[in-house]
Amino acid sequence: MPTSKSESYVLILHEVDDYAAWKAVFDAAAGLRKAAGELSFQVLSADSDANQVAHISRWRSLDAARRFFESPELVEIRRQAGVRAPRFIYLDERDRGDL
């Protein structure tokens, strides 16, 4: 069933030095993410390499997400967390359904 209101998502694909260390920093930043406008998230990793991470999050708006992820504070947090070459994909939901 199509949604009546478009939802905003960010997909981040990146490699981390150590998943457990990255996840600790990620969890510690939950309050920052929420205050910036993140509404929900899902973290996945490659079945063959836990250090290949996909982070999908739903946001109040794509503008809020961009401001957050491009802020100098987040650049430093990513560096501390051992994130390598993050790729950000900003997405508007077009359709959703359950099968």
Q: Are 21 and 78 in contact (CB under 8 A)?
A: no
1 Cβ contact list (under 8 Å, min separation 6)? 96, 97
DSSP 38: E
Q: What are phi and psi of 10, to 5 degrees?
A: -130, 130
Give the per-residue pLDDT at 2: 45
The pLDDT tens digits along the chain (99 residues) read: 444 467 999 999 999 999 999 999 999 999 999 999 999 999 999 999 999 999 999 999 999 999 999 999 999 999 999 999 899 999 999 998 999
Give the per-residue pLDDT at 6: 78
